[in-house]
Amino acid sequence: MAYKISWTNIAFEDYQQVIEYLISEWSLTVAANFESIVNKKLANISRQPFIGIASQKNRLVRSILLTKHNSKTLKRIFFKDHLAELQFLERFCLGI
């Protein structure tokens, strides 16, 4: 069973800012490639919600690396299992 995916408002705004940055500083092609990578990772997380690294501060929160090439953009996807829903959190969860 695939989990339903939802985003916190801050996480979704953060993601949109990354896409806008890639379009303005690189190209539409780079942004589209990044979006494709994210969508593949989200599909994988939806099917296997316990993959990734558990946070040391909050074991309910997990994260996966997007690509090894992300320097100042989104580095990891943080997510939390809420029964049949995965909630995506801000990219830099310092309090987690």
Residue 48 or residue 87, greater confidence: 48
- Residue 69 is predicted with a pLDDT of 63
- Residue 82 is predicted with a pLDDT of 60
Q: What is the pTM of this model?
A: 0.74
For the residues 65-91, what does the mean pLDDT come to?
A: 62
- Residue 23 is predicted with a pLDDT of 94
- Residue 29 is predicted with a pLDDT of 96
> Which is it for strands 76-82 and 4-7: parallel, antiparallel or unpaired?
unpaired
pLDDT per residue as tens digits for the range 19-76: 898 899 999 999 999 899 888 988 888 888 888 888 888 887 888 887 766 544 446 7
Q: What is the DSSP letter of 26?
A: T
Please tell me whether residue 6 adopts helix, strand or coil conformation. strand
Query: Which CATH entry fits the domain spanning 4-88: 3.65.10.10, 3.30.450.20, 3.30.930.10, 3.30.2310.20?
Result: 3.30.2310.20
